[in-house]
Amino acid sequence: MTTTYQKDLLTGKTALVAGATQGIGAVIANHLAALGARVIAMGLGDGDGTLDAGVEVRQADVTRQADLDGALADLDELDIVFNCAGIIKRGLEHDVEVFQRVLEVNLTGTMRVCTATRDKLRARRGCIVNTASMLTFFGGGLVPGYAASKGGIGQLTKSLAIAYAADGIRVNAIAPGWIATPLTQALQDDPARSGPILARTPLGRWGTPQDVAQAAVFLCTPAASFMTGVVLPVDGGYMVT
Q: Which residue has the higher pLDDT, 1 or 93?
A: 93
pLDDT of residue 1: 60
Domain that holds residue 172: 14-181+208-233
78, part of any domain: yes
CB contact set of 225 (below 8 Å; sequence gap of 6+): 170
70, part of any domain: yes
Q: In the annotation, is 146 catalytic?
A: yes
Q: Which residue has the higher pLDDT, 182 or 59?
A: 59
5, part of any domain: no
202, part of any domain: no
pLDDT of residue 3: 64
Question: At residue 46, does pLDDT exceed 90?
Answer: no
Question: At residue 4, does pLDDT exceed 90?
Answer: no
133, part of any domain: yes
**Count of other CB atoms within 10 angstroms of residue 137:** 17
In this predicted model, what pLDDT tens digit does every residue of 131-155 receive, in sequence order? 999 999 999 999 999 999 999 999 9
DSSP annotation of 89: -
- The mean pLDDT value for 163-184 works out to 96
Identify any residues that bridge with 204 across adjacent strands, giving them in sequence order. Answer: none
DSSP annotation of 105: I
169, part of any domain: yes
pLDDT of residue 238: 96
Is residue 131 within 8 A of residue 86, CB to CB? The reply is yes
Report residue 2's pLDDT band, with 50, 70 and 90 as the boundaries: low
Q: Rounded to the nearest 5°, which phi and psi values hold at 14?
A: -115, 130
Give me the percent of the chain exceeding a pLDDT of 70: 98
Question: At residue 93, does pLDDT exceed 70?
Answer: yes
238, part of any domain: no
Report residue 50's pLDDT band, with 50, 70 and 90 as the boundaries: confident
106, part of any domain: yes
- The mean pLDDT value for 170-184 works out to 95
Q: Which of 5, 146, 164, 238 is catalytic?
A: 146
pLDDT of residue 5: 82
Number of domains in the chain: 1
Report residue 6's pLDDT band, with 50, 70 and 90 as the boundaries: confident
Is residue 55 within 8 A of residue 119, CB to CB? The reply is no
- The mean pLDDT value for 17-34 works out to 94
- CA distances from residue 187 to 48, 78, 194 in whole angstroms, order as listed: 22, 38, 6
End-to-end CA distance of the chain: 31
CATH number of the domain within which 44 lies: 3.40.50.720
Give me the percent of the chain exceeding a pLDDT of 90: 90
* Structure-derived torsion over alpha carbons of residues 212, 213, 214, 215, reported in degrees to the nearest 10: 50
